């Protein structure tokens, strides 16, 4: 059974960079069949897909966040990470990591339980 666990600071100051890591167990981030994703949920916007990465290095980001987002992969640690720059209060949300199966239909078949990140001074 694949498990994902988010980690990182729960409080980030405005204008700084939000950095989160997702540790994967029971599966490999080097698998050819999956993309590794970040999704967030804030009270005002519901669930919002941030982006994902394939072990080949291929990435895809939500256009609404693309200028501020980087997702990277560390195969040696079986982890992937999110970096979101220049954060504001609007970036306060529950952040989830998830595995995406990108076959004929793209779906997220395993999710972490989420980490709350608050942007505040």
Which residues of the shown chain bind another protein in the complex (CB under 8 A)?
4, 46-49, 60, 62-64, 96, 98, 104-114
Q: Which is nearer to another protein, 11 or 47 (CB)?
A: 47
Nearest to 95 by CA among 78, 111, 79, 75: 111
Enter the tokens of residue 43. 């009270």
CB distance 119 to 14 below 8 Å:
yes
CB 15, min distance to another protein, A: 25
Q: Which is nearer to another protein, 16 or 60 (CB)?
A: 60
Q: Which is nearer to another protein, 15 or 56 (CB)?
A: 56
Q: Which is nearer to another protein, 16 or 48 (CB)?
A: 48
CB 69, min distance to another protein, A: 12
Give the bridge partners for 37, in sequence order: 52, 98
User: How many CA atoms does the CB half-sphere of 44 hold within 13 Å?
Assistant: 5
Distance from C-alpha of 90 to C-alpha of 4, rounded to nearest angstrom: 25
């Amino acid at each position: 059974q694949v498990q994902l666990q988010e980690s990182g600071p729960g409080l980030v100051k405005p204008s700084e960079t939000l950095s989160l890591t997702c540790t994967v167990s029971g599966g490999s981030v080097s698998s050819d069949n999956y993309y590794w994703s970040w999704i967030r949920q804030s009270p005002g916007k519901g669930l919002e897909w941030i982006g994902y990465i394939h072990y080949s290095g291929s990435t895809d980001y939500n256009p609404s966040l693309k200028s501020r987002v980087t997702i990277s992969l560390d195969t040696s640690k079986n982890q992937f990470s999110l970096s979101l720059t220049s954060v504001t209060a609007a970036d306060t949300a529950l952040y989830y990591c998830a595995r995406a199966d990108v076959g004929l239909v793209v779906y997220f078949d395993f999710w972490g339980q989420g980490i709350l990140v608050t942007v505040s001074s």
